[in-house]
Structure formats: structure tokens, C-alpha cells
């Protein structure tokens, strides 16, 4: 003898629920949006620290870097290309190959090798160009102090 506790609650025929989609329109979205719930953590360029820069054939990644005035930055350079590269930051004169430049150590970074560049920073806002000495005019970037 079955206890009559399994009474299904028949939905009220009067409630006008939104019509369900037809069965043949099963959503097959290939553009599954990944979980965008991770809080975007843009790294503020407010503190002195290490900044990774990838040397490629033949470009910097990133090639636009923002730093705060007076911020000292240690660039962690990794040559992810096959060709030799380096990084030279122009000094206050904004020109390359002058005495106030800062150059990576070692100066020439072979493919798959790494290097560092300790940059004293700029006291006032402005744009400071940097380049690869081996590919000048092609492999270049801008450091924005603001
Ligand atoms: Cu280069």
C-alpha cells in the first residue's frame, strides 16, 4: 500500500509562464564565454618593481610601458626570439647612444637568453623612447612616465 505522499503538484493552468523554446532550437553555442568572473587586476605602475619585457623577432612585448614619476624599475628581459636583441633606454636627452642611456646587461641578449636592465626612472612625466640596438628603427618602444 503506497502512501499518497507523492502527489505531484500539477501546475496551475492559469499561470502564463514564458513559452519555452521549441525543442529543435537547442542552443549549441560554440562561443562559450569563459568565466569572466576573475577580478581583473590591472597592475598599477605605482611602485618600484620588476617589469617583464619579452624580446621578440623583432619587437618588444610590450612596447608601451607606463611608469610613475621617480619609479625605479628593474626590467626582466627575456629573449623569446632566435635573433640577438637588447634594450636601450634613452636618457633625459631623449636620444640614443649618448652617455645618459641605460642599456641591458648583458648588452647583447642572445636567443633564449635573459638579461636585466635597472632603470633609475624619470623624475617628471614625459615619454622616453627605448630601442633594440641591433634593430634600431624597427624594434622600439615608448616608456610613458605619468
Ligand atoms: Cu632586436
pLDDT tens, residue by residue, 26-42: 544 554 444 444 455 54
Could you tell me the residue range of the domain that residue 73 belongs to?
49-145
Q: Give the residue among 75, 59, 82 at the shortest CA–CA distance from 137.
A: 59
Task: Please give the tally of structural domains in the chain.
Answer: 1
Q: Is residue 113 part of a domain?
A: yes
From residue 4, give the alpha-carbon distance in Å to each of 7, 10, 11, 12.
6, 15, 18, 20
pTM, rounded to two decimals: 0.67
Q: Ligand 1 centre from 70 Cα, in Å?
A: 27
pLDDT tens digits for range 106-131: 999 999 999 999 999 888 999 999 99
Give the other-Cβ count within 10 Å of 122's Cβ: 20
Q: Ligand 1 centre from 84 Cα, in Å?
A: 6
In terms of Cβ atoms closer than 10 Å to its own Cβ (0-12, 13-18, 19+), residue 58 is: middle
Q: Is residue 66 part of a domain?
A: yes
Amino acid at each position: 500500500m503506497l502512501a499518497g505522499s507523492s502527489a505531484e503538484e500539477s501546475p496551475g493552468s492559469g499561470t502564463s509562464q514564458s513559452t519555452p523554446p521549441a525543442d529543435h532550437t537547442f542552443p549549441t553555442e560554440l562561443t562559450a564565454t569563459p568565466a569572466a568572473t576573475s577580478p581583473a587586476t590591472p597592475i598599477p605602475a605605482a611602485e618600484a618593481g620588476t617589469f617583464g619585457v619579452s624580446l621578440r623577432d623583432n619587437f618588444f612585448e610590450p612596447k608601451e610601458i607606463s611608469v610613475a614619476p621617480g619609479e625605479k624599475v628593474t626590467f626582466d628581459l627575456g629573449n623569446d626570439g632566435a635573433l640577438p636583441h637588447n634594450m636601450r633606454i634613452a636618457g633625459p636627452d631623449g636620444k640614443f647612444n649618448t652617455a645618459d642611456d641605460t642599456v641591458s646587461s648583458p648588452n647583447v641578449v642572445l636567443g633564449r637568453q635573459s638579461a636585466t636592465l635597472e632603470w633609475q626612472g624619470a623624475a617628471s612625466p614625459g615619454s622616453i623612447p627605448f630601442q633594440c640596438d641591433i634593430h634600431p628603427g624597427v624594434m622600439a618602444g615608448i616608456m610613458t612616465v605619468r
